[in-house]
Every structure is written in C-alpha cells, then in structure tokens.
Structure 1
Amino acid sequence: MRRYGFLFALCAIFGLSASAQDGLHEIIAAGGKLEKVACCFKFTEGPAWHPRGFLIFSDIPADTIYKWDPRTGRTEVFRRPSGHANGNLFDLQGRLVTCEHDRRVSRTERDGSIVTLAARYQGKRLNSPNDLAIRSDGSIYFTDPPYGISKEQEELGFYGVYRLTPRGELSLLDRSFKRPNGIAFSPDERRLYVSDSAEGTISVFDVLPDGSIANKRVFATLEGSGEAGVPDGMKVDERGNIYCTGSHGVWIFAPDGRKLGIIETPEVPANLAWGDADRRTLYITARTSVYRLRMRAAGPNLGPAAHK
C-alpha cells in the first residue's frame, strides 16, 4: 500500500477516503467523504438496508442486532439475543434472514417471531453460518466456515457453500474452500462470487439454470492479511463491479477482474451494504463502527417485492 501514498494524499486533499487508482472517480460521488455514523461497538458485521429506510447491523460479541435510523441518527436494539448474528439480508418479502454463529440460518417474521431455516446438513450441525446472498427466486445461498465454534465442535469436517430453496431443501454446492466467507451474485445472477479468507481470494462460479454452481475459478487475489484485514463481506453494484472488504479497506473490481481501487477505512472492515432510497450510499461495518460513503454507482435493483 505504500506505493499509493501520494495518491492517498491527493484523495485527502479532495475529501475522499479512497485510494485514487483508475476507476474510483467513476464510482464515488463527487466530493464523497467517508463518514462515521455509529460507533462504540465490539465487532460490527452484517449491515442490511430495510426498504422502510433504516439500517440494521450485527454486533457479534454483543449478541445483538442493532437498528440505525438516518433520520434521527439514533441506534437502538433491533434483536437481542441474536444468536451471535453475523450476515443479514432482507428477503423479497422484507423479512430479515440471518446467519448466526449459533449454528443456524434464521428468519425474523413480520410479527417478530424467529424461525430456523437451516441448522443441519445430512443430520450434522452446521459450523457457523457466516454470510448470505438471496436469489430472485427466493433461494438463500450461504457460507459456513468455523469462525463461531471450536475445532472440537465441528461435525461436518468441511466448510461449505449451500443453497436453501424456498421449499426448505438444503443442498451443498461446494466444499473446496478453506474459509468461505462473503458471497454475492452478479446483477444478472449468472455468476456467484465467494471470498476465501484463508486463501486471500475471490472465486467465481457459473450459476446453472437449476440453481447449482459450476466452473469454479479464481476471480481476484487480495494482497495483505492479518491485522490489516482479509477477504470478507462482498456486494456488487448495478454495473457488476464487485466490492469486497479486505486489507486496508474495501477492494473494488470490475466484472472482468480489473482492480478499480480501494476505499480506505480507518478501521478494518468486515462487511458492507447498499442503502438509502436511491441505493447510492455504501454502508460499511468496520470493527467498532459503521461508516457510509455516497457513490455514483448504485446497488442492484431488487425489484418491487423488496419495497413491500
């Protein structure tokens, strides 16, 4: 990162908390500045924007999902206990689907009740579901590394990528990752991206008509590891660019794998989400805080069902 020091200085002059590699000026809004909107948590994760105009996010060690309202700037408890929630997404009916380190994928119903969607595969307990992506047919794709459990608690013996159909059928799609983590679809849903925190890579699959995946190949490699961060949460924008939290900030790649730049963050980031009514604000969870940055690019349009 030292070789970008001069470029970072230019960004500071112009109020941009981002590296100035080619492409970022086309993505970040003019005058865009990284802003801290909430702080003083233990470990933030799983941001998700509710169609009614607020952000929810997890604090894993605090066993809490919080709600942050941009109209008031206030943060309040949304769900506690949360099952040590990690990744969150609202489904096509506006219900919160959560990957819990307490070894299940859950859904919060409109009446506040919580149901288990997946907890076992072939009779064995899942490791600790981490992050998820929801396809337009309602299927939930999620990763299952062991970050929330000890080695002695593992029952499966591998770390998988799964698909859960709307009818509740759970299938293992891939078990070749060392630490599968972030997961995201391309806007046309023909590709599925999965980050591997141990390998420092993002892999991409072709999504077949039946919802299965094939033809795994390395899409991008993120340099740096350890305290500076590893490949973690991922999202895409409407142009098909891929955003992955990693070393020193949010790494952005074009659909062809070309690196567009890094949005630098003051704290090590873990996940991100598109928000606001126009889907042009990027919300980033980073250790003890939540940040936001206005963008030219927008998040994918989830369709009318997401706005119910």
Structure 2
Amino acid sequence: MDHKDIGVTEASLTPNRRTVMLGALALAALPRRAGAADVAHIQRLSPAFDRMVVPDARISVVASGIRWAEGPLWVDDGRYLLFTDPPANIIRRWQTGCVVTPFLSPSGTAGTDPKLVREPGANGLALDHQGRLLIANSGGRSIDRFDLVTRRREVLVDRYRGKRFNSPNDLHVACDGTIYFTDPPYGLTDGDASPLKEMPVNGVYRWTPGGAVDLIDGTLTRPNGVALSADETRLYVSVSDDVAPRIMVYDLDKTGLPRRSRVLLDAKPMRVGGAPGLPDGMKVAHDGTLVCSVPGGMMFLSPDAEPLGLISNGGPIANCAFGERGRALFLTANDRVLRVPLRAGWQDRGRPA
C-alpha cells in the first residue's frame, strides 16, 4: 500500500469529516452505566468491526487484584501470557486452566527509594527474534534482555549520550532486531522535577543491534505506547498528555528513521464527560488496524484513523496484546487483565502475537 493510503494528515481531513470522527469518538468514550456483573462492554462503531470482534463476545477476567496491570505479552512457545505490575515490581504469568503465578520478582530494580522512584518494576514487554524477553525496565531505567530458558538477564542500553534514561515505558521490535522505545518520566516520583532525571527530554528512541542509539523525537511531553505498522513504514507513538492527548505517526525512511510526523488522532475531544484514561499502549494488527488505548477504553482504528469499535469497562485500559494465535486480545485494565475473543482468521495466525 502506498504511503498516502495509510494514516491521516490534518490537511487531508475535511472539517465535516473531522467533526464526525471526533464526535463519534467522544460519544463512544463516555463512561457506561453498566451492571455490577458486567466485565466490559463492546461497542460497534463501524460494520468493519464485525470481522474483528463478535459484538456479543463474552469477555472474561483472567487476573485481578493487581496494583496496576501493564505490559501484556503472549508467549506462543509455551502458550502463556505475561503481564507486568510496575509499582509492585513483578511480572506475572497466566495460562488457560491455571492460576496466575509470579514469573519474575523483582521485575525491575530492587531496593529503590519510593521517595525517588514511583514505579520500580518492569513496564512494557516484547520478544526478540530469538525468543528472549525484552523488558522496558522503568525502575532500572534501561532496556533489558532476559533469557526465558537460562533466566540470565542483561542490560542492553541505559544511556543516551552519557545520560541515564528517565524510565523506559514501552517497546517494539522491528524485523531486523531494532528496538523502538519510549522514555517518559512516569517511573520517577517527581516526574520532570525529579533529582534523578538526567535527560533534558522525554524521548522516543531506537536501539540497533550494533549498539547505536538514536533519538527519534525529543519534543513530546509524555511519550508512552509505541508500535510499528506491519510493513514497518510507520511508527505510532501515543502521547499521554493531560492537555494534548494524541497519537502520533511517523513516516520512516529505508533506514528506519523518521522523514516526517503528524498527529494521527487528537484524543482531547474523547475526554468529554470525564472518560477515564489517556492514550497509552497499542498494537497493530496484520491488516493495519490500530488497537490503542484512548480515553474511555481500547479503540480499534482503521489505518486512516476511522473509529471501528470500542471496548470499555468503566476505567482506564492501559495496554493490549494479541494472543492464542490471533484468537484473543488481552487487555490490562487497571487492577485486572481481560480476555476478549476475536474472530477466527482476522489477525494473521502466522504473525507473532
């Protein structure tokens, strides 16, 4: 697909079309007065959503009692789900028919001072192409690699131009092993005012297997979730800014560096009525559909940012992960993890979850 067919520029949206789109998002994001027995609510915003999620699909809770659920990752070799709890400094594991068990503790760094470090644990997770776990180590302020067999852990990168990262939050692995990651100050107790903060920016970076680190964007206030398009020509970054919440898209050149950037989705209108949450974690399906956290829940967006569907549970939903060979979507929703069944055949089963 040609570049001009993917994504939306501000100039390409007519005022009427933009108003309709943002109005639909705002209405969809309003909190739903659901019964106490309801786990979550699926809202269809486009007929195209029917090929992804069954509207009356039964959403189940696979884990609860979590301080702040984040970083879901399906490990196909073993058929289990990992998810993080950054303030509790632990990674947990869930498998069908089994109870939730601790997987790695501490998941980040032990012995941190809570007056300085708010989130000592791991946040985002990914797998490299050798099946090793990659960890956005918020407390350790680094990107780590963890061997699932030997349980050996090593720091891949913790500095840019000699300065320590703030608190790496999320990451995505490209086909060539390059890692794109975000570095907001959320893990530091005082955020931008923290005495630990060395970086003058809250950046989006890339690390290459040769060890080089590039700053992709140093202008964002709160970079958060990050994902590549299936063809790796575009990089998506969510910005969890209270004043200007949005999702950015970067057109990448052949070397994987940005040629230009623009706002794909302005999420500010979605906060109408006090919809909970901000743009956060995201994943891109094989067909280009962006599944992303927004105020009000988890939104399915077409490649040109048209709203297709919304999953809401009355609170913030921080992140998501495809799993079970594309048959399920896992959501980290505040103090719990949800499982949403997907239409068979929609998400490419041959693509890593």
The normalised TM-score by structure 1 is: 0.90
CA 1:108/1:122 → structure 2, altered by over 3 Å: closer, same or farther?
Answer: same
The 1-side partners of 2:280 and 2:211 are apart by 26
> 1:2 Cα shift?
8.3
Pairing 1:17–2:50 present: no
Q: 1:43 is paired with a residue of what secondary structure? A: coil
CA 1:34/1:89 → structure 2, altered by over 3 Å: closer, same or farther?
Answer: same
The 2-side partners of 1:160 and 1:214 are apart by 17
Tell me the equivalent position of 1:239. Answer: 287
Pairing 1:61–2:87 present: yes
Letter aligned with residue 253 of structure 1? L
Tell me the equivalent position of 1:219. Answer: 264
Question: Which of these residues, 188, 209, 229, is aligned with residue 166 of structure 1?
Answer: 209
Bigger Rg, which one: 2
2:226–2:281 CA contact under 8 A, matched in 1: yes
> 1:289 Cα shift?
0.3
The 2-side partners of 1:167 and 1:250 are apart by 35
1:104–1:126 CA contact under 8 A, matched in 2: yes
Question: Which of these residues, 257, 264, 275, is aligned with residue 323 of structure 2?
Answer: 275
2:29–2:296 CA contact under 8 A, matched in 1: no
Instruction: Show the 5 A alignment for 1:139-218.
Output: 139-149=178-188, 150=190, 151=193, 152-198=195-241, 199-218=244-263
Which structure's relative contact order is higher, taking Cα pairs within 8 Å and 6+ residues apart? 2
The normalised TM-score by structure 2 is: 0.79
1:39–1:289 CA contact under 8 A, matched in 2: yes
Q: 1:24 is paired with a residue of what secondary structure? A: helix
Letter aligned with residue 235 of structure 1? K
Question: Which of these residues, 55, 64, 68, is aligned with residue 39 of structure 1?
Answer: 64
Letter aligned with residue 257 of structure 1? A
Letter aligned with residue 217 of structure 1? R
2:224–2:281 CA contact under 8 A, matched in 1: yes
1:48–1:56 CA contact under 8 A, matched in 2: yes
CA deviation profile, 1:226-283 (whole Å, cap 9, x unmatched): 770000001011110111112121011100111112111243111100000x212100
Pairing 1:290–2:329 present: no
Letter aligned with residue 87 of structure 1? G
> 1:24 Cα shift?
2.4
The 1-side partners of 2:291 and 2:83 are apart by 18
CA 1:208/1:24 → structure 2, altered by over 3 Å: closer, same or farther?
Answer: same
> 1:125 Cα shift?
0.4
Tell me the equivalent position of 1:108. Answer: 146
The 1-side partners of 2:331 and 2:265 are apart by 21
2:247–2:279 CA contact under 8 A, matched in 1: yes
Q: 2:318 is paired with a residue of what secondary structure? A: strand
Higher strand share: 1
Tell me the equivalent position of 1:12. Answer: none
The 2-side partners of 1:5 and 1:131 are apart by 24
The 2-side partners of 1:250 and 1:59 are apart by 19
Letter aligned with residue 287 of structure 1? N
Percent identity reads 36
Q: 2:41 is paired with a residue of what secondary structure? A: coil
CA deviation profile, 1:276-302 (whole Å, cap 9, x unmatched): 0x2121000011100010112644566
> 1:157 Cα shift?
1.1
1:249–1:263 CA contact under 8 A, matched in 2: yes
2:42–2:55 CA contact under 8 A, matched in 1: no
CA 1:115/1:228 → structure 2, altered by over 3 Å: closer, same or farther?
Answer: same
The 1-side partners of 2:93 and 2:248 are apart by 32
The 1-side partners of 2:40 and 2:167 are apart by 36
